[in-house]
Structure 1
Amino acid sequence: MTSVVFVHGTGVREDSYRKSYQRVARGLARVRPEVRLAPCYWGDTYGAHLALGGASFPEREQDRAVPGADGADDPLAVWALLEQDPFAEIELLADSAREDEGGGFAPGRTDPWDALADRVRALAGAGPVTDTTDTTGDGDAAALAEELGPRLYDAALRVAEELSLRLSGTAPGRDTEAMAARAVVALATRLTEHTEDAEEPLPVDGADRDALVRVLTDRLGGTDRGLKGAASWVGGRLLGDPLLWASSPVVQRGRRPMTGKILPGSGDILRYQGRGTGLRTRIADTVALAREREGGPVVLLAHSLGGIASFDLLAMEPAHGVDLLITVGSQAPFLYEIDALTGLRRGDDLPATFPRWINVYDRRDLLGFVGERVFPGRVTDVRVNLRQPFPRSHTGYFAHQGLYERIAAELP
């Protein structure tokens, strides 16, 4: 009797594996009822866990600078927003003005937003930020201005354009000069990174950033250069966007539960890369037991990280006893290309003992890769269409009936 050993992927724990196992069992029963499905669950033993209860987490500071319980007064929440979109404060204010249905100015009057835009535009011709001393903080505005270079003035022109385009004709706001200064600094930072084709974010000290904002606010004629009011206003709106809010230090309050959610997925990968022998041994033992019990061919059906571990095992162990490897949503070809596999170095050929290999992928699965161009003649790529966006395109394979029909045609 043919045995199919089902090896799960990253982030899976017992309850989830039980459900997946039952789903695979039903799928195989419809197409090949005589096949015996064997479990290979490894999440509890070889997956990642916080064995010390999170002792590695920094303790949250207990002082008056720490945000309140609702997180809406965290000053760095504003910068978390501007990191995503330098015009975000301007856009939020424009949305708020439309909601209020207020504003509007009589013909002949100078629109305050257009006036601010003119002052921002004038920054481009005001010369380098070296002739103004900021005495209200410990940052170095001139050093950061020199780092940002001409991009600082390119940013000023674009911010001025946004102010007129989005806010002209609406009611004037508070601390608008500081808001414009933050937009200029945030955009200049992004433009500098793009110009330099930076591989990582530009290193910017928060004190230097704040000092430069204060200097630019002064040049624009502003008085209130703090973030407290903006943080409360922007923070309240940010609370509705958990992905954006997660980039702010306010998540320190919930760091443990958030890490607990992402640990199984990312932690399993890290642990396997550093301590993968146990998982490969678990797969080998399950294969040996299945062959001993049934005496027939053994197939490894492995998803995601389970496919990587199965690949490594078969590449390293000549007497593996596996007749067919079926990887689903696998990263093995990609890891080979970047020379990150344990079982096979880039440039080395698959051993002659490596079994027949079917690699199933969905083009929308960002974690599913193809192998035919990486291992010519040694793997057959099979494309399925789950009709799901990522990440469901990575987790939905075993709910797809077409997968089992293809598996049925390939099983010994």
Structure 2
Amino acid sequence: MTSLVFVHGTGVRPPQYEETFALIQKKLGIQRPDIKVVPCLWGEMLGTKLNAQGASIPLYDATLALSEEEEEEKEILLWEQLYRDPLYELRLLSLKPNAEDVANPFAEQPSDELNFRLQSLNPSPELQALLVEAGIALVFDEALQAVLRSQAYQEALQKASESLSEYCDAVARAIVAQAMFYCEQQEKYPPILTNAELRDEVVEKLSCALGEAELGLGGWVWKPLSLLTHPTTFAMKRKRGSITDAISPFPCDILLYQSRGERIRQFIREIIEQAEPPVVLLTHSLGGIACVDLLVKEGLEQVALLVTVGSQAPFLYEINALHSLEYGEPLPDHFPAWLNIYDLRDFLSYIGANVFPNKVQDVLVDNKQPFPRSHSAYWENPATWKAIVPRLP
């Protein structure tokens, strides 16, 4: 029996690891049920934490600016904003100029019909099943009510014209984005967070339930949205402690590995030694760096294949910052076959074939997510498994 050891990246702790591990088990179980998937959760034991409960953090507010976005497809750019502010698109629609030919204010308006459908929405069995599959069924009603109560929704509704498709789509996206936001607040990681196709399918079904669906971005919305291809105009102001809690595991795990990486590599080695050979190492981000270092330093004959996903190891080698190998030195003969999967929108993924000729096979996939969500969206992408499964022993 082949063993596949999953080595995660930076900042990953339960329950996120458990959700990802279960997803990998499910994906592999469909095509290769003979493979035993083995967890390697080094972050729980060896990852960073605030050992003095944040005693080093000054107690003042700080502004956390959102990163600049370059030339992205408009739908992906829109979702980048919705992940930050679920009501973003509705806020844009609320700024839309009124039509010149104002209808009879005493007659029923198009917005009245849309509002009625939303107020009385009862998901069909098909939509309900899709919400369950996406993992947002338990927070859907709460998200729906949050959008209904919002000022952005009420103001956007006043600008609705005879064609409601733009508004149906925008409301559907707002509800789905709000549900995803609640999941992240509750530290739940359902498939919809990283599966763009599933997300869009939920939006389409919900928009259809509201009346009209074209699943497109209205021309008026795209004009102000396109301005975001230049420096960002959004900033989120939070308590510095809250920011540290949210983002510190990522850079801090990297700093920890650079200074005390031997403990992490030893932990991975012990998991490999306990697994039944042949062993495949499936790694993500920092987990790939650790495994490259380990396999350079030691000849582990039971490892038949290394798979790095969203990896920075080739980049670290090029800048002469890879712990195990100075730039210019080749990979040792005992190094196993290496498959490297990357996404052009994942700015933390790099290619290895150009710096390790004839040693690395790079495979490009498209997770259809903006950065940084693109960095963790590989596991829901069928192209990832299409690249991995045929190469498994």
Fold conserved between structures, TM > 0.5: yes
Structure 1 position 244 matched with structure 2 position 235: yes
Distance 2:272 2:261 in 1: 17
Residue 245 of structure 1 deviates from its aligned partner by: 4.8
Q: Structure 2 vs 1, CA of residues 368 and 281 (structure 1 numbering), >3 Å: closer, same or farther?
A: same
1:341 is paired with a residue whose SS is coil
Residue 318 of structure 1 deviates from its aligned partner by: 2.0
State which of 312, 318, 321 in structure 1 corresponds to 2:299.
Answer: 318
**Correspondence for 2:316:** 335
Structure 1 position 287 matched with structure 2 position 268: no
**Correspondence for 2:223:** none
Distance 2:358 2:374 in 1: 27
| Aligned 8 A contact 2:283 2:307 in 1 | yes
Moved over 4 A (4+): none
2:34 is paired with a residue whose SS is coil
**Correspondence for 1:390:** 371
Could you report, residue by residue, the CA deviation over 1:188-241 in whole angstroms, capped at 9, with x for unpaired residues?
Answer: xxxxxxxxxxxxxxxxxxxxxxxxxxxxxxxxxxxxxxxxxxxxxxxxxxxxx9
Could you report, residue by residue, the CA deviation over 1:316-348 in whole angstroms, capped at 9, with x for unpaired residues?
Answer: 112363110000000000010111111111111
Q: Structure 2 vs 1, CA of residues 342 and 243 (structure 1 numbering), >3 Å: closer, same or farther?
A: farther
Could you report, residue by residue, the CA deviation over 1:250-273 in whole angstroms, capped at 9, with x for unpaired residues?
Answer: x5xx11111011111111111111
Residue 55 of structure 1 deviates from its aligned partner by: 1.7
Counterpart mapping for 1:76-155 below 5 A? none
Counterpart mapping for 1:91-240 below 5 A? none
**Correspondence for 1:366:** 347
| Aligned 8 A contact 1:314 1:320 in 2 | no
Structure whose CA Rg is larger: 1
| Aligned 8 A contact 2:58 2:240 in 1 | no
**Correspondence for 1:181:** none
What number of residue pairs does the alignment pair up?
230
**Correspondence for 2:244:** 259
Q: Which amino acid aligns with 2:235?
A: L
**Correspondence for 1:52:** 52
Q: Which amino acid aligns with 1:244?
A: A
| Aligned 8 A contact 1:6 1:301 in 2 | yes
Could you list the runs of 5+ residues in structure 2 that have no partner in the other structure? 69-94, 96-231
Q: Which amino acid aligns with 1:20?
A: T
Distance 1:243 1:372 in 2: 38
Which deviates more from structure 2 when the two are superposed, residues 387-396 or residues 3-12? Answer: 387-396
Q: Structure 2 vs 1, CA of residues 404 and 373 (structure 1 numbering), >3 Å: closer, same or farther?
A: same
Distance 1:30 1:402 in 2: 15
TM-score by length of 1: 0.53
| Aligned 8 A contact 1:10 1:268 in 2 | yes
**Correspondence for 1:405:** 386
Distance 2:300 2:371 in 1: 37
TM-score by length of 2: 0.55
| Aligned 8 A contact 1:314 1:354 in 2 | yes
RMSD: 2.4
Q: Which amino acid aligns with 1:330?
A: S
| Aligned 8 A contact 2:340 2:362 in 1 | yes
| Aligned 8 A contact 1:31 1:404 in 2 | no
| Aligned 8 A contact 1:48 1:271 in 2 | yes
Residue 402 of structure 1 deviates from its aligned partner by: 2.2
| Aligned 8 A contact 2:59 2:240 in 1 | no
**Correspondence for 2:8:** 8
| Aligned 8 A contact 1:325 1:358 in 2 | yes
| Aligned 8 A contact 2:308 2:341 in 1 | yes
**Correspondence for 1:271:** 256
Distance 1:12 1:378 in 2: 29
**Correspondence for 2:105:** none
Residue 367 of structure 1 deviates from its aligned partner by: 0.6
Distance 2:234 2:262 in 1: 35
| Aligned 8 A contact 2:59 2:241 in 1 | no
**Correspondence for 2:31:** 31
Residue 243 of structure 1 deviates from its aligned partner by: 5.4
Distance 2:51 2:301 in 1: 32
Q: Structure 2 vs 1, CA of residues 375 and 40 (structure 1 numbering), >3 Å: closer, same or farther?
A: same
Distance 1:264 1:59 in 2: 19
**Correspondence for 2:73:** none
Counterpart mapping for 1:64-83 below 5 A? none
Distance 1:374 1:4 in 2: 26
Q: Which amino acid aligns with 2:56?
A: S
Q: Which amino acid aligns with 2:267?
A: R
